[in-house]
Amino acid sequence: MNPGSEGLITVGEFLAPVKQPYRKAMFIGFDGRHKRAHMYRSLLEAIAMTMKMSVDAMCEELQVKPDQIIVSGGGSNSNLFMQIFADVFGIKSVRNEVNNAAGIGAAINAAVGVGYYPDYETAINHMVKIKDDYEPSLENTNIYDQVIGQIYQDIKTYSDPVNKKIYSLFG
């Protein structure tokens, strides 16, 4: 299946903000060709595109440009998810041998705190090992850039009014 889930777009509002309780997740563009695999991929793409928009805003404010993204947690066990992240961000995505970022971070802090390693850089060099990496397909990155720029960035302008009506009827 190609990037963009053949036109199936997920609005990923799974946890509505307190001040916007009407916000809900939704699929847009669903038709008869879409199966479970499309829905799954669309969910993964929504997560990656939402994160990219947030990371882009943060990087713009900090005037930095990352050269890779480290994906951790359960989702990083998926080769598909790792490739989607590389393609959406347009940079290499990597996962560590230990994919529990909080756990390894706590261990690094403890190792530096008790003096086992003299500083964070040394601790990280000894304790963090890259398991594998995924290079982006620039063709896929171009597709995701178009989806984000032409659809995803403004999608809540259109979905919010509908969700407000649904919320007013059903809470």
pLDDT per residue over 67-84, tens digit each? 999 998 888 999 999 999
How many angstroms separate the CA atoms of 66 and 68, rounded? Answer: 6
Q: How many CA atoms lie within 13 A of 69 on its CB side?
A: 25
Residue 14, pLDDT score = 79
Residue 121, pLDDT score = 95
Phi-psi sector, 96: left (phi>0), alpha (psi -120 to 50), beta: beta
Residue 158, pLDDT score = 92
Mean pLDDT to the nearest integer, 127-154:
95
CB-based contact 49:144 (threshold 8 Å): yes
108: which 2 tokens?
Answer: 């690094």
Residue 38, pLDDT score = 95
What the chain holds in terms of domains, given with CATH numbers, is 5-170 (3.30.420.40)
Give phi and psi for 95, each to the nearest 5. Answer: -130, 145
Whether this prediction's pTM lies above 0.75 is answered by yes
